[in-house]
Chain A
């Protein structure tokens, strides 16, 4: 159905994650792309397309391509948007490959999210989005505030608890302990979580992802070409993006349901699988709450049951649905979506080392679920072993 299984992820690359890279986002992009091509066993001469997303904070494909020395670009994507579009970049690259418009696409995200452009606003003004005029005058515009507002609504509606948000943070930190790339590798307890300072109640410091300098890249090519390359190919079985509602005079009035609930049926239908078939899930964790609500909206538990589901241990590395096996944005680092895809690739190749989910064949990787901008995106990935 659609372009199911026609494109494959064949290489992943990272720069170091840090609080201050000391280099430009162009340098970060080039370094991550070269690492991803090396991982795939490909060179710059094999690249004919580039894709990224950004919010005015990074270097576009039409600057990165000549900086790399790409011989000829046949397709590029310079997607405006934040975390919500992160997975549509890979989905659109797979579509470009499936259609024959491109043969080998490098998707990247390069970001100095701590030393230059902080999403929380420190050092810059609010984003030029039309909603902002109704929010910023009240001191409300930063992502932690936005997610806190809807986390509170979820607590009010379903009785979700601080301890359940804390379980997300504790489980993901335990995974990061097993990940040499992670910025935060000291184990934490629920008491540590509860003792961390408020950012915007009901969210604490340990509910928030790590503002990170770094880049990550993923190479996408055809399934046929992938078979001749170095690693077990990881197929793009499902890709969906969209949604369309917003908080203001939209069609929905229940803000405990995200855009993920809208795209999930399309996503699973394209891949021909259901939530019960997913072996490992990398779920966009800008904040702990976004994990809880997406577990519901992607169908792993009932609506309102995300908190108890996490608290049961189901999402821990040894649980029935390991989530954010690299530590996620909370503990590995925040590269605005693409490091989730890269971790899913490692899990499906079987190369995730101490944090490997045994026998993982199908992975879900998701984007910011639509609380900022009216849409989201997600991928179902499958090992072509």
Chain B
């Protein structure tokens, strides 16, 4: 694999989301029936069961909910990265809109609940991931 990480196994619902990430656009779905924002991608709203939706850009602003600092090498491709933090953040657009990512341009020591962060797109070969950096 060209990327230095596990390449995401994109599914039929998520393909457009990953394509947007590749263009450095952060999006979620907005339900055409009730307006609820949802992530990750799927075709049917779990509030109103509508099948109508559109991709809508979000601000890329989020707050840290929790994090780990990984030390164990669970895969060989991780060996040169440990230790590394993984963040779980809530998007400013909704408490139930959660995304994972690595910390960039920041230090583990400054992590705390509610720390404001923003999305950073990181290209690696033909893959792009969303990571998070503290908002200054």
| B interface residues, how many (CB within 8 angstroms) | 45
Binds B, one of A26-34, A149-157, A291-299: A149-157
Q: Which interface class (under 10, 10 to 19, 20 to 34, 35 or more) fits A?
A: 35 or more
Q: Which residue of B has the minimal Cβ distance to A146?
A: B68
A156→B96 contact, CB < 8 A: no
Q: Is A74 an interface residue (CB 8 A)?
A: no
Residues of B80-136 contacting chain A, CB below 8 A: 81, 83-84, 86, 88, 90, 95-102, 113, 127, 129, 131
Smallest CB separation, B95 vs chain A (Å): 4
- For B3, the chain A residues whose CB sits under 8 A away are 137
CB distance from A129 to the nearest CB of B (A): 10
Contacts A149-B86, A152-B66 given; does A249 touch B74 at CB 8 Å: no
Chain A residues whose C-beta falls within 8 Å of the C-beta of B131 in the assembled complex: 138
> What would be 7 A-B contacts, judged by CB atoms less than 8 Å apart?
A122-B74, A131-B40, A136-B8, A139-B75, A198-B71, A200-B69, A250-B46
**Cβ of B48 under 8 Å from chain A:** no
Contacts of B46 in A (CB 8 A): 249-250
Give the A-B pair count, Cβ closer than 8 A. Answer: 119
Q: How far is the CA of A198 from the CA of B68 in the complex (A)?
A: 11
Q: How far apart are B101's CB and chain A's nearest CB, in angstroms? A: 6
A152 near B67: Cβ-Cβ < 8 Å: yes
Given contacts A122-B75, A142-B74, A145-B86, 7 further A-B contacts (CB under 8 A): A130-B14, A134-B40, A136-B5, A138-B100, A140-B70, A152-B67, A199-B72
| Complex: A46 Cα to B72 Cα, angstroms | 47
> How long is the Cα–Cα vector from A198 to B38 in the complex, in angstroms?
35
Q: Could you say which residues of chain A place their CB within 8 Å of the CB of B11?
A: 130, 133
Q: CB distance A139 to B71 under 8 Å?
A: no
